[in-house]
Structure 1
Amino acid sequence: MDTDRVRLCVYRLLQLFSTCAAFSLVASLGTGMGAVSHWSMFIWCFCFVITLITFMVQLGKYQPSLPFSGKSFLFTYACLATVFCLSASIMYAITYIQFLPHGPFRDQATAATAFSCIACVLYALEAAFLWLLFLGETTFYFATIHGLFKLLETLVACIIFAFISNTYLHQHQPALVWCVAVYSICFTLGAVAMLLKLVKFENRLHTFFPRFLLGQTVLSVLLYASALILWPLYQFNQEFGGQPQRSSDVSCSDELASTLCIWDQKLTVAILTAINLLIYVADMAYWIHFIFIRSWASAITGL
């Protein structure tokens, strides 16, 4: 086993320990943690399972039999795991730890967040190591402008999912259920786009594939625009059953504060929706520019 493989194995073992420790510490706190805490646990469990599978595949040397580039997959997963663990660390800290009284429970939750941050750093180090290791041999998707946009869109979507996993935020209005569907549809379309890039599907459709990505991004912009209108309208406009004032939400009472209150969660989702819409608009502008420049270059070449 060469030095590079040993280094990757060390990264994986430390990642497995960190994610397992974060999950175990939070799970041992018991019930009443809230939707965001459960979502953070899901992220740590997901990263642990995929890292374990990747570690076993690496030890067994099965990568040549995979239907895609092992290098691209490893780098892509390392980037995504970095984003996932970062989002879990941020969400768990701001929505749960700060509301716990000082004592063993708070120390345990803080330790879980620390392990999540360590896992995030380890995944980032692995991504940087893989990028340097294979520099010049292959082009990694997340090292491109469009890949960075997709990474940011995925990060914001993961944080949104953490909040909307609390069904109390949206189950009472069909318009809000539509917003949840928007977040899910756009996330799924982005995942499909990343998967197609990972398996190098664009090599089969040189001309069509950029237009497909542009269409997917335009659709996401339109869907997010509708969510940006409907979510605040039905959450904060009293005529549509919303609560315009934070004080009108009984869950925001200081005596009941054990996690981020419902009104604050609604506001957070609204802000994150606006942020992701801006990212999708920038992504759309990139693809419009890319297709226009390619068409212009082809026209000049054909003259």
Structure 2
Amino acid sequence: MPVIVLEARDFSSPIFLVRTLEVISGCITFSLVASLEPPKDPSDLHPTFRIFCMFIWCFFFTLTLLIHILSIIQFHSLIPISWKNLTVTTAVLGALMGLSASVVFPWMVIDHQGSLQRPVAAAVASCITFLAYSSETCILRTQAQEQRGYMGSNPGLLKILQLWGGCNMIPLVLGVVQSQWSALGTPSGVLSWQLWVSAVLYSVCVLMSLVTLVVILGDFAGRCFLPFDRFLAGFSLIGVFLYMFATVICFTKILQLKEPGNRASAQMTELIIMETVVASITLLAYTVDLAFSIKLLCDRSHA
């Protein structure tokens, strides 16, 4: 089978240019961060969030590079994946996770570096990467619904937001655990219970989001043992209940910080507040998504 390459005019298209910028800026970002000195204090939170940011930059660099190459040689039609859903998911999730890395890296990592030239340059490159993914998202969102797929619709974007929230909870919970361990030695029974419950809740929600994403990208909706709209509504309902519980736990932690004699550090307080904010945003995403699912089920029942 001959290899078909894009025409010359396609190399100056907006989508080609923003993907090229994503690849270049992403490569520059993780290369600069990889050259930084390792942390000297093993009890610091710097390594956890540095690994989180590095994973984001490396993962989306690799995925975008593959999408870019397959788009150029026009081999994407041979892959058993919904291409339109894959591209819009990568663009939107890359923008959201790039925003997280662009916030977390200066907040948690730059202060622990002696020389600031390369860390600041990496932070700027990360912001450029975020802007590039945001631009691709806007370009794809201007396409017709048939071209951008389900993940480009409002319910699809909400599911990407849910996955973003769950992925951000992982380093936040790890950071809270490490901060409490450093401040209190061995965390109390109440704190340990809260941490374990939070970890389980977030893990279940991330797993549900990944299953939904695999079903949509693999076009497996017709093979589900339940109608796909009911399948999504059930996941949304479970997510609402789990994140309601998780949000209550987060606000409980904030109230515990105000108790007299609390030895929580300023860093741990910031992490708990950030966890509460992300949990609230994700709960809102699940709630709106559930409303969309219920509306769709009602419309189909009356049709």
Q: TM-score, normalised by structure 1?
A: 0.80
Q: Provide the residue aligned with 2:75 in structure 1.
A: 62
Q: Shift of residue 9 of structure 1?
A: 4.5
Question: How far, CA to CA, are the matches of 1:146 and 1:246 in structure 2?
Answer: 44
Give the counterpart letter for 1:43 in structure 2.
Answer: I
**Pairing of 1:113-262 with structure 2 (within 5 A):** 113-132=123-142, 135=144, 137-166=146-175, 167-168=177-178, 172=187, 173-203=192-222, 208-233=227-252, 235-236=253-254, 243-244=257-258, 248-249=262-263, 251-252=265-266, 261-262=267-268
Cα distance in structure 2, aligned partners of 1:129 and 1:247? 53
One-letter amino acid of the counterpart of residue 70, structure 2: V
1:145, distance to aligned residue in structure 2 (A): 1.9
Q: How far 1:150 sits from its partner (Å)?
A: 1.4
For structure 2, the residue ranges without an aligned partner over 5 or more in a row are 1-5, 40-45, 182-186
* Counterpart Cα distance in 2 of 1:43 and 1:161: 13
The structure-2 alpha-carbon separation of the partners of 1:23 and 1:223, relative to structure 1 and needing over 3 Å to count, comes to same
CA 125–206 in structure 1, closer or farther in 2 if over 3 Å, else same: farther
Aligned counterpart for 1:13 among listed residues 20, 28, 32: 20
Alpha-carbon distance between aligned partners in 2 of 1:128 and 1:4, rounded to the nearest angstrom: 18
Cα distance change, pair 140–247 in 1 and its aligned pair in 2 (3 A):
farther
CA distance in 2, matches of 1:66, 1:249: 54
Pair 93,157 (structure 1): closer, same or farther in 2 beyond 3 Å:
farther
Residue 53 of structure 1 and its aligned partner are, at CA, apart by 2.2
User: Counterpart of 1:147 in structure 2: which amino acid?
Assistant: G
- What is the CA-CA distance between 1:118 and the residue it aligns to? 0.9
1:84-129 CA distance string (max 9 Å, x none): 11121122233444x468x732x42222121111111222223333
Contact 2:22/2:129, CA 8 A, preserved across alignment: yes
Give the aligned length: 280
Counterpart contact for 2:99–2:127, Cα < 8 Å: yes
1:67-96 per-residue CA deviation (whole Å, 9 max, x = no partner) reads 123233222212221111112112223344
Cα distance change on mapping 1:291 and 1:109 into 2, 3 Å? same
User: Are 2:215 and 2:221, in contact at CA under 8 Å, matched by a contact in 1?
Assistant: yes
Specify whether residues 295 and 42 from structure 1 end up closer, same or farther in structure 2 by C-alpha distance, changes over 3 A only: same
**Partner residue of 2:293?**
287
Asked if the contact 1:75–1:127 (Cα under 8 Å) also holds between the matched residues in 2, the reply is yes
Q: Is the 8 A contact 1:79 1:142 kept in 2?
A: no
Q: Where does residue 300 of structure 1 map in the other structure?
A: none
- 1:104 partner letter: S
- Kindly indicate whether the alpha-carbon contact (under 8 Å) linking 1:176 and 1:231 is maintained by their aligned counterparts in 2: no
| Structure 1: distance between partners of 2:210 and 2:220 | 14
Partners of 2:84 and 2:148 within 8 A in 1: no
Partner-residue secondary structure (3-state), 1:68: coil
SS at 1:165 equivalent? helix
Q: Which residue of 1 aligns with 2:89?
A: 76
Match for residue 90 of structure 1 among 97, 103, 110: 103
Alpha-carbon distance, 1:181 to partner = 1.8
> Residue in 1 aligned with 2:29?
22
Give the structure 2 partner of residue 263 of structure 1: 269
Find the counterpart in structure 2 of residue 301 from structure 1. Answer: none
Aligned equivalents of 2:260 and 2:67: distance in 1? 46
Structure 2 length-normalised TM: 0.80
Q: Percent identity?
A: 27
Question: How far off its partner does 1:236 sit?
Answer: 4.8
Alpha-carbon RMSD across the aligned residues, in angstroms, is: 2.9
Contact 2:179 2:265 in 1 (8 A): no
What's the CA shift for 1:266?
1.7
